[in-house]
Amino acid sequence: KDDKNSSAIYRFTIGSSTSWESIDSTLPDGAIIDQFIVSSDGTLYAMNSQPVDTAKGEGGMERSLNPTYSLGPTFETVTRGLDAGATLNGLWLSGNRLWSIDTTNWRVMTYTDSLTEPVTLTSPQEKAQGIGTMINHTISNVSLDWEAAKGATSYQWQLDHDTDFSIVPAGFEGSTKASQAKLPALEPATTYYWRVRVTEPVLSPWSTKWSFTTSLGSETIAPKLYSPEAGASGVELKPIFQWSAIAGAD
């Protein structure tokens, strides 16, 4: 980083790189990376030996779900459970559990990362058809559902007209603490794509992208019955049935 006392993380991809590439542009300024480790699922953890200062985002552990991303990975600082001023030394990993030593308070700290796997979507099911209810010429009563992720406290959902998600339309994304999101009014007979990820306390990868198609949009209008009235008595054996007219009906 820019600070003369800080350190950097570089990447070299065998078979495609011609030189080492710095990938730490999203690390806090002045970060001092003393050790890093990669899990079996590809998550990169790096220990920042700065004293913990949550206001400045310093110290603790740096975490990246996408260290191989071609445009550069994103790091997030993890200081949850660490006291102010705590200084970590060493980093060990087994499964999804990490250990480090807080040399300020002389204690062993552990961190279990349960959010390295994508959220599992449940409803509407992939490529579901006829979703929603036609109300006032738009489709309502559509909700997105997914399985609650262990340790997650907040989620981000996105909806789009294609699988790109590069420019999400206004109103087509949001945050929720529940494992469900109610969608705004949608267009009839339209295919939408959606995805979800955890955002707190740390990020999870985006889920797979599922799609659904809203209902055709034909509102069902039933005729009103006029005669004979419900429960009428003394009705002729061959009564005349009367009901309201429906536009377009023969």
Regarding predicted confidence, which is higher, 11 or 205?
Answer: 205
For residue 155, give both structure tokens.
């989620």
235: left (phi over 0), alpha (psi -120 to 50) or beta: beta
Residue 237: the pLDDT is: 82
For residue 103, give both structure tokens.
């040399």
- pLDDT confidence tier of residue 250, bands split at 50, 70 and 90: low
**Mean pLDDT of the region 45-61:** 90
Peptide bond before 67: cis, by omega within 30 degrees of 0? no
> Could you give the CA distance from residue 48 to residue 23 in angstroms, rounded to a whole number?
15
pTM above 0.85, yes or no: no
Q: Is the pLDDT of residue 148 over 80?
A: yes
Compute the mean pLDDT over every residue in the chain, rounded to the nearest whole number. 89
- Residue from 206, 184, 176, 177 nearest 194 by CA: 206
Regarding predicted confidence, which is higher, 97 or 248?
Answer: 97
Residue ranges of domains in the chain, CATH in brackets: 10-112 (no CATH), 121-214 (2.60.40.10)
Residue 109: the pLDDT is: 95
**Alpha carbon 96 to chain centroid, angstroms:** 20
Q: What is the DSSP string of 58-96?
A: BSSEEEES-TT-TT----EEE-TTPPTT--EEEEEEETT
Do the Cβ atoms of 215 and 207 come closer than 8 Å? no
Regarding predicted confidence, which is higher, 139 or 245?
Answer: 139
58-85 pLDDT, tens digit per residue, is: 899 999 999 888 888 888 999 999 999 9
- Most distant CA pair in the chain: distance in Å? 102
- pLDDT confidence tier of residue 178, bands split at 50, 70 and 90: very high
Regarding predicted confidence, which is higher, 229 or 60?
Answer: 60
Regarding predicted confidence, which is higher, 24 or 123?
Answer: 123
